[in-house]
Amino acid sequence: MLRIPRLLCLCLCWPALLFAQKKNEAWKLPLSRAVSPIKIDGIIDEEAWRYAAVAKDFRMVLPMDTSAAKLRTDVRMVYDQQRLYILVENYTDGSKPYMVESLRRDFSFLKNDNFILFMDPFDDQTNGFAFGANAAGAQWDGLMYDGGKVDLSWDNKWVSAVKNYPDKWVFEAAIPFKTIRYKKGVTQWGINFSRNDLKTTEKSAWAPVPRQFPTASLAYTGTLQWDTTPPPAGPNISIIPYLLGGVSKDYAAHGNTTWRRDAGLDAKIGITSSLNLDLTVNPDFSQVDVDKQVTNLDRFELFFPERRQFFLENGDQFSNFGYSTLRPFFSRRIGLGVPIQFGARLSGKLNKDWRLGLMNMQTAAKDELLLPAQNYTVAALQRRMFTRSNLGFLFINKESLNYTPPQETGKPVYSQYNRNFGLEYNLASSNNFWTGKALVLKSYSPDRSGSDWATAANLQYTSKVWNIGWQHEYVGHNYNAEVGYVPRRGYIKVAPTATRLFFPVSGPVLSHGPQVTSTWFMDEQFHRTDNETMLNYGLVFRQRNTLNVWTSNTYIKLLQAFDPTNTGKDSLAVNTTHSWNTVGADYVSQPQQLFTYAFSARYGGYYAGGRRLMLNTELGYRFQPYVSIAMSANYNDIRLGAPWGYNSFWLVGPRLDVTMTNTLFFTGFMQYNEQMKNINLNARLQWRYRPASDLFIVYTDNYLPEPFYVKNRALVLKLVYWFNL
């Protein structure tokens, strides 16, 4: 087992680094009770706003963080017994219209004129909530975790309005106390406000944030100072039933038309003001976006992100344990292709220092696969350490119920159980310059023992001009995470990286500089199996367009037979070695233009002395704020010797988004994947007829390109309603 680097151990113990005072202690916004009723309409005519304190004098974050913001932004907040209110005046230069993508909820922050509120009710600089809107009125909300990341899958009940004037746009919102979680009696909440304006390319914040960090960074919040203790949220119980009807047919299997009638229920119960119980019975996720396909030329399993809301809400304690390719828990292992019968999750804060997450899910048996009913239990406990660091524990248990492995050969065999224990320390200094992680994992399976450990650590330093990092991992060949994402086992990985930025005083380039990364894989005897070293030079322009040019050297020793085209042709032999050089470039256009585009290309060697050319482009045009058209295209040209020869793969994906209002959305897209020989069509209409209540109509087709005929087809109608008790 590898040991944590000495440098990381020293950093974990730096008292001065970890106990430093909150950075923006001087930024305080007094909060008082509203003296009059407030109507959410974007019109400033209520007496309550005349007496509210004003947060103003925003500081610029981008392009540079050394001056006051050029655009004026004034923020007022008040409250009553049920809601927290916010009013924002976003002044503009008046010379150009606002810039937005669409009226769709949870828009891209950097591609819209917008205002966002970041709120830390526990003032722990780690977890919180985010609310905001773009200049056309599309809402943006999410759960905050890891001190500055936002999970936009969180969706709850609150109301807002945006109104445009010649010299400003006004955002007004009411957030029910039942929507958020907070500790009773805490009168100081962390808070910050962020403004993005594409016309001037200015991003600003009320409490100043260094430009190398997102304005969501909770290490740099100011303070919302209540005039008394916040009102209790009161009973907080929500019942969310759904009704579903659908029809489908599998033409490829010559199947009959199948009709579907279904119903299910979700419930949210506030155990305390900061601890929530989520229940689900017969959940359905048919309205979730399908995965974005990719051309697969990798030797290992690809990662596709979780999109089902039940698993994403407040799930960072489970899903963020570990690293991107070393995750002991990956919720997509639960219920894909197998019906979920019921589930429960208890999550939230016990107090300022302790977080708890408990989840239990039950899936049904599937006879045609001889798959038994399975139960999944996940428990996470997190303890705050020092100012912003924490120590976390994770336990995962997957159990096959009433299952005896079959004696006949050729039938699938499933494990009777798989368990994982994990311990993880997350480092975050008070100023966010130093971040890191150290973890250890242990698995238990009936047929595996010895070398069933995994351990990893990383440390990263981020300043305005330097970004220096180190990461290493060890995964034993018997480490088994059946409910996780661990695409390879039996390896040691070392990955240092360094970036240096330069900032010209004037000219079109805002910053530029080199980056060096090197990733080494070794077997458990420290023999090299993989290595990729890359030199990149990046440029960020003042108009926010970016350009990167790079070159890399790759070495691979195959530990398993591998088809370099992933098309089922012959495979390269085990223990053969391959090396090549590659050059590439990536360009992303200015986000403030109606027509946007991105382009990337790479050319160089490939396995067995072959050559590979890859071209990728993404084009977009918006008729703001109602219509957005996008086209993505990926082309791979691979030239190898016999038996593979010449191979080319197209992956094309046009997409249409129509947002008729901020409650009525249509999305239609196609994906043509030449490698998989599939054409996928998907169309979805969503009507949010009440806050957090939706009607979905989803249509899906899959075709075989040559000869062209339909493989399967489905139509689903789903109605969801949110009751507050």
pLDDT at 101: 84
Q: How many domains does the chain have?
A: 2
- Whether 310 is in a domain gets the answer yes
Find out whether 30 and 53 touch, Cβ atoms under 8 Å: yes
pLDDT-based confidence at 19, cuts 50/70/90? Answer: very low
pLDDT at 12: 43
Three-class SS state of 257: coil
Lowest average pLDDT, out of 312-326, 411-425, 483-497, 573-587, goes to 312-326
Lowest average pLDDT, out of 252-261, 488-497, 540-549, goes to 252-261
pLDDT-based confidence at 311, cuts 50/70/90? Answer: confident
My answer on whether 167 and 25 are in the same domain is yes
Average pLDDT over residues 409-427: 89
Find out whether 650 and 635 touch, Cβ atoms under 8 Å: yes
What is the percentage of the chain residues whose pLDDT exceeds 70? 96
My answer on whether 487 and 349 are in the same domain is yes
My answer on whether 221 and 309 are in the same domain is no
Predicted confidence (pLDDT) at residue 1 exceeds the cutoff of 60: no
pLDDT at 90: 96
pLDDT at 18: 46
My answer on whether 46 and 155 are in the same domain is yes
My answer on whether 461 and 347 are in the same domain is yes
Predicted confidence (pLDDT) at residue 22 exceeds the cutoff of 80: no
pLDDT at 154: 78
My answer on whether 212 and 316 are in the same domain is no
Average pLDDT over residues 544-551: 96
My answer on whether 191 and 337 are in the same domain is no
My answer on whether 60 and 204 are in the same domain is yes
Predicted confidence (pLDDT) at residue 17 exceeds the cutoff of 70: no
List pLDDT tens digits, range 619-658.
Answer: 999 898 899 999 999 999 999 998 899 999 999 999 999 9
- Whether 277 is in a domain gets the answer no
Lowest average pLDDT, out of 200-214, 404-418, 450-464, 687-701, goes to 404-418
Residue identified by tokens 């773009």 is: 134
List pLDDT tens digits, range 242-251.
Answer: 999 999 999 8
Closest by CA position to 33, among listed 83, 78, 86, 85:
78
Residue identified by tokens 């200049």 is: 135
Entry field: residues in the chain: 725
Q: Domain of residue 361: give its range.
A: 305-492
pLDDT at 534: 98
- Whether 151 is in a domain gets the answer yes
- Whether 680 is in a domain gets the answer no
| Chosen domain end from 433, 457, 492 | 492
Pairing mode, strands 28-33 and 222-226: parallel
- Whether 249 is in a domain gets the answer no
| Chosen domain end from 205, 226, 247 | 226
My answer on whether 433 and 322 are in the same domain is yes
Closest by CA position to 148, among listed 180, 189, 190:
190
Closest by CA position to 484, among listed 437, 545, 420:
420
| Chosen domain end from 492, 507, 528 | 492
- Whether 125 is in a domain gets the answer yes
My answer on whether 205 and 340 are in the same domain is no
CATH assignment at residue 195: 2.60.40.1190
- Whether 405 is in a domain gets the answer yes
659: which 2 tokens?
């947002």
Amino acid identity, position 257:
T
My answer on whether 64 and 166 are in the same domain is yes
- Whether 260 is in a domain gets the answer no
Give the DSSP letter of residue 230.
P
pLDDT-based confidence at 369, cuts 50/70/90? Answer: low
My answer on whether 347 and 467 are in the same domain is yes
Give the DSSP letter of residue 20.
P
Closest by CA position to 539, among listed 529, 531, 530, 548:
548
pLDDT at 459: 97
Higher pLDDT, 313 or 535: 535
Query: How open is the CA angle 356-220-98, to the nearest 5 degrees?
Result: 105
Higher pLDDT, 456 or 593: 456
pLDDT at 368: 62
Higher pLDDT, 681 or 316: 681
